[in-house]
Amino acid sequence: MAGRFLVSLWATVSVSISVSATPIVKRNPYTFVLNNPYGDAIFELGEVSYLANTKHPKAVLKATCEPSTSTAAIPVTVVKTNVSSITKATLESAIASYLDNDDVFSTDFLDGLYISSTVKASLDASAIEYLASYNTSMVFLAGVSGKGKFSTISIKASAELSAGPYLATVGSNSVSLASVYRLYEDTYRTFLFGAYDTNDGLDNHSPLGVFLPKSWHNMIPVPSRIYYWGDDRPLAGERVAIKDLYDVKGLQTSGGSQAWARITPIANGTAPSVQQILDLGGVVVGKQKLAQFASGANPWEWQDEHYPFNPRGDGWLTCSASSSGGGCSIAAYDWLDYAIGSDTGSSMRRPAAVSGTYGQRPSQGMISLERVLPLGGATDTAGVFSRDPYKWIKFAKAWYSASLHQNVSVTGLSPLVVPDTDAFPKTILYPIDYLPLNNSAAEPILQEFIGNLARIFNMTVKEFNFTATIQNFTDPVASNLTTLIAATTVINTWSAWDVIGRRLVSTWASLFEGRFPPIDPARRPGWRAFNESRTNLAAYVEAQAMKNVGVEWYEKELQYSTPESCSESVMLYDIGTGGLPSFREQGLNDSPDASYLAVLPKTAKITGANICPIFGCADFTIPIGQVPYFSNVTFHEEMVPVTINMVVKRGCDFVLYNMIEKLADEGVLKTVKTGRTAF
């Protein structure tokens, strides 16, 4: 553990140092390491590893080279200007802004300089002296003249090339420039593998495909942020990790199962929900770990994958399930912007709670789950983890486009309508069967949050008993939580069996003389004994109809629209542990100062997590603070995040985002940090 913290601390410090006025340090030389299986180059500059997309370079340019020019690969920096006299100041200010705003670029890329200008330009004496101070050995001139102690290469036809670091390869009449990616160590083991855009013109991604012997961990390739300056798409250059349930063309989808990966081909298309991220300018950096087939398995029940680590507290806390890799990676890495997960029963909301990050279960039907391995077709949803409320909202509003709403035949519900207004709720519902928070030290944090909410939005707090309210109703379906839970169970069992289980079990048996596939215990007994006479399409359709009855009741009686409010109320509850630590190691959770996850509150009939999967509502996990505990792992005081869940009527997601944005404006909600503590 100590090793991991040291490594990640070092990484954080090295990227956040601002070097604008630093003296020139000796450049680290280019060191080729190996080619990966896809023909791309792994190289090092000092201690830092990189990938260069040399198989499919970003640009190949016609050029005239000096006869003596070496043809080896060389790290170069592309600088674009529009001045006619390029001086030391021109170069120095460009390099300073690169260093300040990007973690991939370093002055080690000044072995070569590629300079272009929109006007006829030349390098003046100060610029040439500046390059000499870096021992720049090669200068690529695109519409620029200049002569110094370096080889010059005249670019004949300049291309639409973004500024930033590249790996150049010089041929006799051409220069190719490959995009570079810095390789970060996945020290918390949240990823299955890193991946990058193949740039083959066929929309493929490639796995990184190498294991560097100097590290235990997967390496994750992230491209320079400078490439995206001037790209005004909402997610331009944002680094996004994907739960390994979603298809990305060129990558294997495993669902967290090696057996499933063994019998299924590499994805030949990309899920529309992931394509939407790419179209918005986002960058897919890898596939992440999950509880196998999106089950709710506890950390100690994982067999096929090694359970990821949570950076919070003592480093021994749970990441929950099933989007475990996603939540913990966002709490861990400054170099990662977003992680995509899914939520059927709690799988976005609980990982967000235990990692102290923002994460949501959107309204049922919000975004297409085509080409995503299902758990329950009519209960699955897709969400995104983020540290920053503004960035989280920006992503969500761009990603959840109306064009990607699910068909009513998928949800079994009325069409989804998602107004983006300030028609805020008037009532804060405080369910006495779910609150107060279990740790009495955490409840004052919640009370302060409620006070702020009531003040800022002029809302009234209403205590009520959720269970009694539902049971008081007379509808045989809507007021019977046992019936609604049973319907949800049918939905969640059938889709996964129909798409994954049946095929895996029968294919494995035919390949291996009748053997059952090696899968985690979360699914083994259910799939071993699956009875299609009991659970089948007809039962699924009936369950969907029951769910619809429940949703219609909920939207009429419990959380409803009024002329002033999209959702008259926002309901609060906690999907986490109420401010107690919950550990990856089972036995540690038996202590009275710790907690298991998914504990049914004493007087409730269903867990809070189950409310929105049943009633279709939107449920967001929001970090609001932290409380101390004494760790039996580090034997030191540590902090555990405190979060709260905010629930609104189906379709009122964007109104809730607008509310959260206002809370951030007021300083009530904050960006959480990476590492041991969220605040």
Interface with ligand NAG (CB under 6 A): 24, 26-27, 82, 118, 134-135, 265, 268, 407, 409, 432-433, 438, 458, 460, 465, 467-469, 471-472, 480, 482-483, 531, 533-534, 578, 580-581, 588, 591-595, 599, 601, 603, 629-630, 632
* Cis geometry, peptide bond prior to residue 436 (ω within 30 degrees of 0): yes
CA separation for the pair 95, 19 (Å, rounded)? 10
Closer by beta carbon to ligand NAG, 76 or else 240? 76
Residue among 360, 353, 359 at smallest CA distance from 442: 353
| CA 539 to chain CA mean position, Å | 35
Q: What is the DSSP letter of 246?
A: B
Shortest distance, CB of residue 335 to ligand NAG, whole angstroms? 26
Shortest distance, CB of residue 159 to ligand NAG, whole angstroms? 18
Pair 640, 581: CB distance under 8 Å: yes
Closer by beta carbon to ligand NAG, 465 or else 671? 465
Closer by beta carbon to ligand NAG, 24 or else 417? 24
Shortest distance, CB of residue 541 to ligand NAG, whole angstroms? 13
Closer by beta carbon to ligand NAG, 331 or else 490? 490
**Segment holding 343, helix H or strand E:** strand 338-343
Pair 385, 330: CB distance under 8 Å: yes
Shortest distance, CB of residue 410 to ligand NAG, whole angstroms? 8
Shortest distance, CB of residue 281 to ligand NAG, whole angstroms? 20
CA separation for the pair 489, 495 (Å, rounded)? 11
Shortest distance, CB of residue 613 to ligand NAG, whole angstroms? 18
Strands 239-243 and 338-343: parallel
* Cis geometry, peptide bond prior to residue 322 (ω within 30 degrees of 0): yes
Closer by beta carbon to ligand NAG, 189 or else 287? 287
CA distances from 551 to 83, 314, 586 (A): 63, 41, 36
Pair 642, 437: CB distance under 8 Å: yes
Closer by beta carbon to ligand NAG, 84 or else 172? 84
Q: Which two tokens stand for residue 29?
A: 């030389």
Pair 286, 191: CB distance under 8 Å: yes
Closer by beta carbon to ligand NAG, 121 or else 220? 121
Shortest distance, CB of residue 265 to ligand NAG, whole angstroms? 5
Helix axes 481-496, 537-553, angle to 10 degrees: 140
Dihedral sign from CA coordinates of 361, 367, 370, 371: negative
Q: Which two tokens stand for residue 163?
A: 């500024």
Residue with tokens 């200049």: 146
Beta-strand ranges (E) seen in 40-81 are 41-45, 48-52, 59-65, 73-81
Shortest distance, CB of residue 35 to ligand NAG, whole angstroms? 27
**Structural Rg of the chain based on CA atoms:** 27
Closer by beta carbon to ligand NAG, 176 or else 257? 257
Shortest distance, CB of residue 332 to ligand NAG, whole angstroms? 22
Closer by beta carbon to ligand NAG, 68 or else 458? 458
Pair 394, 234: CB distance under 8 Å: yes
Closer by beta carbon to ligand NAG, 241 or else 504? 504
Shortest distance, CB of residue 155 to ligand NAG, whole angstroms? 19
